[in-house]
Amino acid sequence: MRGKRIVAVLLTSLMLLVGSNAMAKKIEIQWWHAMRSARGEVCKALIDKFNKSQDKYVVIGTNKGNYDEVLNAGIAAIRAHKQPHILQSFEVGTQTMMLSGAIYPVYKLMSDAGYDINWNDYLQAVLSYYMNKDGKLMSMPFNSSTPVMYYNADMFKKAGIPLPSKSDPMTWDELGTILKTMIDKKIAPAGLVAAWQSWTQIENYCAIHNLPFASRANGYEGLDCVLQFNSPQVVAHIAQLKDWMKDKRFLYGGQKYQGPKAEFIAQNAAVYIDSISGIAKLKKAVKDFQWDVAPLPVESWMARPQNSIIGGASNWVLAGHSKEEYKGVAAFLAFLAQPEQQIFWHKQTGYFPITLTAYDELKKQGYYKEQPYQEVGIKQLNRAIPTKNSRGLRLGYFVQIRNIVNEELEKVWNDTKTPQQALDDAVARGNKELRAFEKIYN
């Protein structure tokens, strides 16, 4: 009897050992990202689903902080030769990542791993942002968005103002009149708040109005570009917002999204400009009023507005890992691009589905009839053939340049500088960053 027990124990131990070895043979894929809170939970759900779908690889997702912190962590890891396989980097880091020499281009990775990708099935306005000058995809789009205009529908109704169209943008003049009406009637304490002011009020303003943000096709055609966003039209737009501060039609809520979003949720502002991905946050946070989405306003002189440009981030594959590990990376990226995962991602976060197949499937399901605001950003992004001014921005040290723009705009809001002086200074300071970048990579 005792002998049988010993045999049983040995067999059990052997089975556990075999199982343990099988688990140990799974190849780990490290993914550093910036997705937290509700978006982080969606990321985790995608990772868990991939890990359960096969037995060769295990993706380990790690939130490394916000976009700036993830990029800085990635740079430090590359220098220490401890880089993850996949690094999520926001769109302003594209030029830096592209020229870093530390990446494995996605088009090559997928080809090397045997994936025959139909790149024409992807949203081209998104895909082109991450292509090199030869039209080759360098990183895989992941969380792509564009700014839109949220509004408090209850306040509009109370003021007797028709709700904005979901396809035809109102003019900035019309918006100014609406906001004044709501403030004069004491329906709204303030009018407009805007998140990510550089992205929404300078970069996308230039794109939609077909104005250059920088020369050389916004940097796509050469590192020797110079900034040009201190044009009369952009200066006039910033001057108008500054003028609106006098009667509270414009309320400055901070450089990023937290402050402006809080003002909108608290109903201290009637209109809120932010990423289309803000839908997920508003769904979760707003319980006491109806809100909706409209395209960004345009100037009355812009009869046919251009497309807006994207924000968000893409997944960069970092060099220095084994061939077997890269097979796992390619499998994970291919998994994320599947229509089923893209539909899930879009519904849960508001970020775009990156393939036409996923977009068409959503339309077939009637999703946009049930949730029409989810399609506002996609239509705005695709309403015109991108020009050299609306394709996107490809600038070195763009993180620093955007910080400079934010600093100079704040000097307008606090009466330290005029709009012209602030934008001239932002251009001069930003050009120094461009020349420093050019010196390194030319």
Q: Is the pLDDT of residue 12 over 80?
A: no
pLDDT for residue 24: 61
Report, as an integer, the average pLDDT of 389-412: 95
Over residues 189-198, the pLDDT tens digits come to 999 999 999 9
Q: Which domains does the chain have, with CATH numbers?
A: 27-145+311-382 (3.40.190.10), 147-308+396-441 (3.40.190.10)
Report, as an integer, the average pLDDT of 435-440: 96
Over residues 248-307, the pLDDT tens digits come to 999 999 998 899 999 999 999 999 999 998 888 898 899 999 999 999 999 999 999 999
Over residues 103-154, the pLDDT tens digits come to 999 999 999 999 988 989 998 888 888 988 888 999 999 999 999 999 999 9
Q: Is the pLDDT of residue 18 over 70?
A: no
pLDDT for residue 442: 81
pLDDT for residue 13: 52
pLDDT for residue 1: 47
Q: Is the pLDDT of residue 10 over 60?
A: no
Q: Is the pLDDT of residue 156 over 80?
A: yes
Q: Is the pLDDT of residue 383 over 90?
A: yes
Q: How confident is the model at residue 76 (pLDDT cuts 50, 70, 90)?
A: very high
CB 359 within 8 A of CB 144: no
Q: Out of 56-60, 194-198, 342-346, 438-442, which region has the weakest mean confidence (pLDDT)? A: 438-442
d(Cα 139, Cα 129) in Å, to the nearest integer?
10
What percent of the chain is predicted at pLDDT more than 90?
Answer: 82
What is the rounded average pLDDT for all residues in the chain? 93
Report, as an integer, the average pLDDT of 381-403: 93
Q: Is the pLDDT of residue 222 over 50?
A: yes
d(Cα 15, Cα 202) in Å, to the nearest integer?
63
Q: Is the pLDDT of residue 330 over 80?
A: yes
Report, as an integer, the average pLDDT of 85-109: 93
